[in-house]
Amino acid sequence: MMFWRLVLQLLRGNRGRLAVAIVAIVSGAAVISALLNLDLGVQNKLTQEFRTLGANIVISPASGAPAHISDAEVPSLMPEHDVLEVMQQLPPTQVAAAAPYLYIVARAQNIPVVVAGTWLDQAQKLDATWKLEGSWITSRADDSHCLVGRNVARRLHLAVGNPLELHYLERSAQCSVAGIVDAGGAEDNQVFATLRAVQSLANLPGQIGVAQVSVTGTAPVVADYAARLATALPQYQVRPIRQVAEAEGALLGRIRLLIVSMALLILILTALCVLGTMAALAMERRKDVGLMKSLGGSISRIVGIFLAEVGVLGAAGGLLGAIIGAALSYWMGLRVFGTAISPRWEVFPTTIVLMIVVALAGALPLRMLGNVKPAEILRGE
Amino acid sequence: MATVVQVENLRKEFGNVRALDGVSFRVDAGEWIAIMGPSGSGKTTLINILGGLDTPTSGQAAVDGTDVARLDEAGLTRFRAEKIGFIFQQFHLVPYLTAVENVMLAQYFHSTTDEKEAQQSLERVGLGDRIEHLPAQLSGGEQQRVAVARALINHPKLILADEPTGNLDEANEDIVLSLLRELHTEGHTILMVTHAPSIGHLADRRIEFAHGRLVQAAATSLKPELA
């Protein structure tokens, strides 16, 4: 009891001198806590960001033959039912979006044009970078509307609301342009209609050429999901899109390296700041130590009191800093990722323990007190 | 009467300087001894050795049968906690502890703390209404009385007072000296360093030092054993 009373009085009596150390510990803890929260939260956020870049798993016929159909080609196809049934059995929480595709090369105004039949409600989730003039098609049964790529619209002089007639072999279909897609890629040269409409135009009911899946999670999670799909669909080819996964992994690795480096730097700077304060305090406390020794205090008991003081300083500063850091990471999440990064509970004890360790490391100058000779100190030397 | 302090041929050298040069004397239980002499004569060095704050170069300095020259660091620490009560000229209170906490600090290093006992010790020196005051809120005389209470709290075998009134005005000097007189009456053994002959005369005996040697004993009961 007396031990903690002494520690409390030390903190109270030296609060002015300890102010620099307190500010250093709270600031250090706030940055460390924010960085840790970011490190843990950024993985989810980045994964979500990468999901906007498109699908990361593609299911296609095992032959690897092109899934496009032209007048002359017989495509490699998959029954729509096979793929969808398997996908429904896997955990839906991991799937951000999924859509089957059937590509054909039809003619519009006598110009060949790639027509993609898909679930148009999923298309915008699979590639969130699409910009649309007009309106999305949200119903998979809406066969009367279609979306056209920016280049197709320019070549065919199409505007939102115009009719578009598509011809494939001896069949034809008509749709009204609901929107013009600006994807900045191959999609700008395509026409998008509902899967059912394209299957009907190509006379391939229930057939698809490819399925795209966007799985939430890190590269290993995506690879695991792809492996499970491959096991369930041995007759087809299931491929994770490596560029996305690898870019994600590399970026996460770099961010983690940056965060760890910064955290180490902050810890060292905090320790140095505490070290400076403690060196000055150790000099001031030589008289107190000399007196305590003369009263029969062993150096281990005396330094123990001072170390507890520093430990309490580290713990309190760490807790306060962790709270500030949580708020900081919340704000940074909003600024950088557009959504808040929620504070992680494990960051609090980690930050507090780190700050206690840093504060104790900064208390190294207290070792000098072991050499105090009470007779000299009490004589005023 | 039992011997509390036995000093035999005690020497202490600081480099080429001989602070104590073959000092021998004995103090019986309950005696009040005044150690006198000019500055640099070795008085404080003697007190420091007897209090276990310093070690002799050679010779014996035994307190209550314990030769401090033979103790290691841990032994000296226990010796100071259990056998010695210090009263310093500069008071030497911990500035961020209250009066009662300063007294309890000595208890803490001795064994366990007893706040009630510490308060009673302060009441005894007339500071019952000052127990929660910090040293900066006390006068010099009050601070020295806290130091007296702290010196007594662990019932030491020997009270070592180094110029206990050296920093006090006349009124406070009287208060502290009357406290020392009380302690003497109660049977405490006191070794007091002082410059002032008037204070020295209050003691049972006076030992005078010059150049590290015991040069004069001013009471018939003194048995100097000059080497």
A379 contacts A333 by C-beta, under 8 angstroms: no
Q: From CA B157, how far away is CA B3, in angstroms rounded?
A: 11
Exposure class string for A73-110: b at 16+ Cβ within 10 A, else e = eebbbbebebbeebbeebeeebbbbbbbbbbbebbbee
- Give me the numbers of helices (H) and strands (E) for chain B, helices first please: 7, 10
Interface of A with B in 296-335 (CB under 8 A): 296-298, 301
Q: Give, in order, the Cα–Cα distances in Å from A370 to each of A1, A292, A298, A303, B200.
A: 24, 12, 9, 8, 37
Alpha-carbon torsion angle A84, A89, A92, A94, nearest 10: -100
User: Pick from A13, A375, A378: which is nearest to B92 by CB?
Assistant: A378
Residues A321 and A368 in one domain: yes
Domain end residue (candidates: A214, A240, A266): A240
Question: Is the reported ipTM for this assembly greater than 0.90?
Answer: no
**Whether A140 and A60 share a structural domain:** yes
What value does the mean pLDDT take over residues B95-122? 94
- Asked whether B20 and B10 are in contact (CB, 8 A), the reply is yes
| DSSP-assigned letter for residue A109 | T
Q: Which residue has the tokens 């406070």?
A: B172
Task: Identify which of B74, B96, B97 has the shortest CB distance to residue A298.
Answer: B74
Q: Are A105 and A172 within one domain?
A: yes
Residue B119 pLDDT > 50: yes
Taking residues B33-47, what's their average pLDDT?
90
Top-confidence residue, B218 or A217: A217
Which pair of tokens denotes residue A187?
């999609």
Cα–Cα distance, A159 to A161 (Å, whole number): 6
Pair (A191, A215) in one structural domain: yes
- Cβ within 8 Å, pair B78-A296: yes
Are A83 and A23 in a shared domain? no
Report the alpha-carbon distance of residue A217 to residue A228 in Å, rounded: 15
Interface check B14 vs A, CB under 8 A: no
pLDDT at A134: 92
Beta bridge partners of A215: A95
Q: What is the pLDDT of residue B226?
A: 38
Among residues A42, A78, A48, the alpha carbon closest in space to that of A61 is found at A78
CA distance linking residue A214 with residue A217, whole number of Å: 10
Q: Which of residues 63-82 of A touch B (CB under 8 A)?
A: none
Classify residue B77 by burial, with Cβ atoms within 10 Å: 0-12, 13-18, 19+: buried
Structure confidence by residue, pLDDT tens digits, B133-150: 999 999 999 999 999 999
β-partners of residue A194 are: A118
**Mean pLDDT, to the nearest integer, of B108-129?**
92
Pair (A168, A31) in one structural domain:
no
- A88 lies in which domain range? 56-240
Using a CB–CB cutoff of 8 Å, tell me whether B165 touches chain A.
Answer: no
Mark whether A40 and A100 lie in a shared domain: no
For residue B53, give the nearest of A9, A375, A380 by CB distance.
A375
pLDDT at A72: 42
Hey, is the C-beta of B137 within 8 angstroms of any chain A C-beta? Answer: no
Statement to judge: residues A148 and A225 lie in one domain: yes
Residue A142 corresponds to which amino acid? Answer: D
Same domain assignment for residues A272 and A360? yes
Same domain, yes or no: A293 and A188: no
CA distance A102 to A67: 7
Inform me whether the C-beta atom of residue A8 falls under 8 Å from chain B C-beta atoms: no
Measured N-to-C along each axis, helices A15-51 and A347-362 cross at an angle, to the nearest 10 degrees, of 140
Average pLDDT per 10 consecutive residues for chain A, totaling 381 residues: 90 84 91 86 66 74 57 66 79 78 91 91 78 89 92 93 92 93 87 93 90 78 82 84 66 82 90 86 86 91 91 93 91 77 87 92 83 78 55
Q: Which one of A209, A240, A271 terminates a domain?
A: A240
Instruction: Check residue A330 and give its pLDDT.
Output: 87
Per-residue pLDDT at A47: 63
What is the model's pLDDT at position B46? 93
Q: Is-contact A89 A184, C-beta < 8 A? A: no
Last residue of a domain, one of A205, A240, A275: A240
For residue B214, give the H/E element and its range. Answer: strand B213-217
Under the banding of pLDDT at 50, 70 and 90, the label for residue B131 is very high
Number of independent structural domains in chain A: 2
Provide mean pLDDT across the span B155-161: 93
Same domain, A63 and A39: no
Q: Is the same domain home to A203 and A221?
A: yes
- Inspect the interface and report whether the beta carbons of B48 and A375 lie closer than 8 Å: yes
Residue B87 has pLDDT above 50, yes or no: yes
Decide if B113 and A6 are in contact by the 8 Å CB cutoff. no
For residue A305, the one-letter residue type is: I
